[in-house]
Structure 1
């Protein structure tokens, strides 16, 4: 008991060496695992927010497409469509998408400076609707068909529904991948703890046999692996946060390009928001805590096995 008390009081040499090669390797593995998990958390947050935005957009706005036809006066047809939309109950606003905006929308496929006189390009009327009292779309379609046969109303419901379904599938896949990363991290810590115990087996067994409590030995391992887990998880999470911040900055800086417009149409500003960053911080804390608890459980179980074997050998 004096030996144990002396060890507890002085703690000149830790049971597990703080800077061995195995410890650095484990820190690196945890950092990589946390980085991958943080990317998954950010991607899931981004896709989830985008799916919510798509669902909001479908209730806020619809479009009416006017297809060019021989003898059709496009400006007159667009104005007629706009007036019909404004006169429909449930519509709050309607505006014609001008040639500049339409040209920019088609730029990724048709290039710059689209000639609307030479190329038959459909034109759009953007209609904002009252989400509390939406218009009667069937009645609106009949009105448009009678006044402008070339007009076609699109409420985007089928298209956005497929995108939302895809987004939810991506979220489920992300959660599954995150679970796999957590399981892999746990197994890695178990093997690392067993390796640390094997390298210090004689010290652990001597301490245990002379009266050191299992909780004391397990706590020493827990502190060691908590430090490693916290360093590795923080490093991986920080790199992931920097990566998301850089991608968001580059997207915002190139917002005026046609490619950026398409990305913004799908993912907004391509930033994960405070929920994504909070998720990364929670992930870092979870990985560090899981590392410490896993090592403690492994040590406690190993010491229990020693206690079971000792009476048999004696």
Structure 2
């Protein structure tokens, strides 16, 4: 980077800018161009872009875990597997047992068309359900107060030996746990992105301070305090961090907006992105970037000014 020409500096104007915060020339000692400015803008934009996706992942997996936990916890299934000459009688028995069980709001025997849809991902369309030894399925919706699953299991075992109660716990809990872990990973990613942005801004601020070493020495000779000199760097780098993060946030939100809809993307991407008021959350990223830039630059500036006397 080209060193500032000390002979061309207007020290009177520079001193007024450093000692009066309302003067626009407060950060005049910081070079407006060069690799430090480009590094700060690029790193802030890149980190903000990644932060949008990390935030979208955290919010989406949180919604997914809540939906799976709520919806699957309210439904259970009774599977009836019995010899052909007994399956009709056991089905009638199961339906009567479910009607008289406290805590069950509704029970419905799934027709062959619904069972065919359940088997379609594995066997393809037009599955001959009637020709296959497919068990009959009864979908049970529990009431708000819930029911005693163990008591119902024992009653079915005694009155309909071919009936098995499945409350989805065996595969529901791993799914909810996986979604919660993905949410935690998204939040950890946000913290790592913020730390990386702070490190990059710190390096850029130190490089700018090193390049302006002669200017800093002259300012000290005319009575400028370290906090006053540091303020000039803090303002410039905070502004750069906010501008870069705003650009990255806009690009990230645009990329999220262009993601395929849930019905086009499949089950894995269902709900990925922002919904409703959730679109306001990314707007906090430029503010957070400005805070990180302020803290990182202030710490780096004061630390380096104390070391260099």
TM-score tier, shorter chain, comes to: 0.7 to 0.9
Alignment of 1:195-234 (within 5 A): 195-234=207-246
Matched, 1:102 2:104: no
- What RMSD over aligned residues (CA atoms) do the two structures have, in Å? 2.9
Asked if 1 retains the 8 angstrom alpha-carbon contact of 2:108 and 2:139, the reply is yes
Tell me what 2:261 maps to.
Answer: 250
Q: 1:37 aligns with which of 32, 39, 51?
A: 51
Asked if 2 retains the 8 angstrom alpha-carbon contact of 1:43 and 1:272, the reply is no
Q: Which runs of 4+ in 1 moved over 6 A?
A: none
1:78 offset after TM fit, Å? Answer: 4.5
Provide the aligned length of Structure 1 versus Structure 2: 295
**Structure 1 gaps, min length 5:** 310-314
Alignment of 1:179-190 (within 5 A): 179-190=191-202
Alignment of 1:171-182 (within 5 A): 171-182=183-194
Report SS of the residue matched to 1:303.
helix
TM-score, reference length from structure 2: 0.82
- What CA distance in whole angstroms lies between the structure 1 residues aligned with 2:68 and 2:182? 15
- What CA distance in whole angstroms lies between the structure 1 residues aligned with 2:197 and 2:233? 17
Tell me what 2:64 maps to.
Answer: 50
Alignment of 1:83-232 (within 5 A): 83-131=96-144, 133-232=145-244
Q: Using a 3 Å threshold, how does the CA distance of structure 1 residues 91 and 178 change in structure 2: closer, same or farther?
A: same
Report SS of the residue matched to 2:129.
coil
Tell me what 2:4 maps to.
Answer: none
1:73 offset after TM fit, Å? Answer: 4.5
Q: Using a 3 Å threshold, how does the CA distance of structure 1 residues 237 and 72 change in structure 2: closer, same or farther?
A: farther
Asked if 2 retains the 8 angstrom alpha-carbon contact of 1:45 and 1:275, the reply is no
- What CA distance in whole angstroms lies between the structure 2 residues aligned with 1:148 and 1:268? 39
1:92 offset after TM fit, Å? Answer: 0.8
1:282 offset after TM fit, Å? Answer: 2.9
1:116 offset after TM fit, Å? Answer: 0.3
- What CA distance in whole angstroms lies between the structure 2 residues aligned with 1:14 and 1:62? 69
- What CA distance in whole angstroms lies between the structure 1 residues aligned with 2:95 and 2:229? 77
Tell me what 2:3 maps to.
Answer: none
Tell me what 2:247 maps to.
Answer: 235
1:191 offset after TM fit, Å? Answer: 0.5
